[in-house]
Structure 1
């Protein structure tokens, strides 16, 4: 479980996060939603240690990340897997080499152990036959699946996904959502997803927080979100529905 307590962050005179608190349970897909510039990505960066909050606490199974010694912080980081928005694959490395990279950097496993782990993760995301391909030789959806394989290769307790469906067509987006949810439940990972994709919200939103101008205005599950009486969330939902309808008519 991850718990965030009263997370606040400002850059110079611009307040980005205003005391955000929530709990993210293991085995669930926890979504952070909101429009552009609402603080979603900054909150994610605060959670994974890329940006230090001005106040508040980030607890990993009770361990306070920012009030721990360096050794504990490094231990928590090794328990994280991150799927970056653009995939962040190395163009000069094969699919297999991209997935193996964390093992090369962070473990002393033998070559055979690494090979077996990479093969397992690629098979798990349906890319066993693509191991020797280069990123330029695979589709956008396949790149996201490679990113997922790399994110889980260290057998993480915590999985963070930044806009996993960005740039993907609707059918591929659904498949990526299903894969993330399956992996989360199968391995009981605490998964946190940044998204503005309402299809993702309705299909896999087991726990959702809605940010608006740096504040948390709503928290709940996907079956309750359309019943909200929060005006800003209603507007967000309507705008996304309108965009989807426009997309269907193009």
Structure 2
């Protein structure tokens, strides 16, 4: 379980996060949504340690990541998997080598063990035959799946996905959503997804946190998403519906 408590972050005079709190549970696909500049990406970076919050706590199963010493922070980071927005694959490495990379860097497993684990993860995301291919030889959706395989190769307790459907067509987006949801449930991972994708909100949002101007204005599951009395949330949803309809025309 991940708990965030009163997270505040400012850059100069501009307050980005104004005391955000929440809980993310194992086995749930939790979404953080909001328009551009609302603080959702900064919140994610505070959670994974790329940015240090000015105030507040980030607790991983009770362990305070913000105040942890270097040894404990390293221990917690080893339990994280991260899918970056652009997949962030190494162009010079094969698909299998990309998935194997965290094992090369962070474990003392034998090469045979690392290859076996990487191949298992590729099989799990439906790319068992793609290990020898280069990133330039696969589609955008396949790159996302390689990114997911790499994110889970260390058998993480916590999975973070930053705009996993960015740049994908609607059908591929649905497949990526389903894969993230299945893996979360199968391995009982605590999954946090940053997204503005309407389909993701409606299909896999077991818990949704809506940020507006650095504050949490609403929290609930996807069954309640379109029935809130929050004008800012309703406007956000309406704008996304229009965008999806335009994309389908």
Question: Structure 2 length normalisation: TM-score?
Answer: 0.99
Q: What secondary structure sits across from 2:9 in the alignment?
A: strand
1:149 match: 149
Listed one character per residue, the Cα deviations across residues 163-197 of structure 1 (whole Å, up to 9, x for unaligned) are 00000000000000000000000000000000000
Listed one character per residue, the Cα deviations across residues 58-85 of structure 1 (whole Å, up to 9, x for unaligned) are 0000000112221111100000000000
1:196 match: 196
Q: Within 2, Cα distance between the matches of 1:8 and 1:181?
A: 29
Q: Within 1, Cα distance between the matches of 2:49 and 2:86?
A: 19
Q: Within 1, Cα distance between the matches of 2:65 and 2:119?
A: 32
Q: Within 2, Cα distance between the matches of 1:246 and 1:145?
A: 26
Q: Within 1, Cα distance between the matches of 2:74 and 2:248?
A: 46
Kindly state the Cα deviation for residue 48 of structure 1 after the two structures are TM-superposed.
Answer: 0.2
1:103 match: 103
Show the 5 A alignment for 1:54-73. 54-73=54-73
Gaps of 5+ in 2: none
Listed one character per residue, the Cα deviations across residues 86-125 of structure 1 (whole Å, up to 9, x for unaligned) are 0000000000000000000000000110010001000000
Q: What secondary structure sits across from 1:130 in the alignment?
A: coil
1:224 match: 224
Kindly state the Cα deviation for residue 238 of structure 1 after the two structures are TM-superposed.
Answer: 0.5
Kindly state the Cα deviation for residue 244 of structure 1 after the two structures are TM-superposed.
Answer: 1.2
Q: What secondary structure sits across from 2:66 in the alignment?
A: helix
2:34 match: 34
Listed one character per residue, the Cα deviations across residues 182-226 of structure 1 (whole Å, up to 9, x for unaligned) are 000000000000000010000000000000111100000000011
Gaps of 5+ in 1: none
2:138 match: 138
Q: Within 2, Cα distance between the matches of 1:211 and 1:88?
A: 26
1:24 match: 24
1:128 match: 128
Q: Within 1, Cα distance between the matches of 2:182 and 2:248?
A: 28
Q: Within 2, Cα distance between the matches of 1:70 and 1:101?
A: 22
Kindly state the Cα deviation for residue 246 of structure 1 after the two structures are TM-superposed.
Answer: 1.4
2:206 match: 206
Q: Within 2, Cα distance between the matches of 1:244 and 1:111?
A: 45
Q: Within 1, Cα distance between the matches of 2:55 and 2:232?
A: 26
Listed one character per residue, the Cα deviations across residues 11-68 of structure 1 (whole Å, up to 9, x for unaligned) are 0111100000000000000000000110010000000000000000000000001122
Number of residue pairs matched by the alignment: 249
Tell me which stretches of 4 or more aligned residues in structure 1 moved more than 2 Å: none
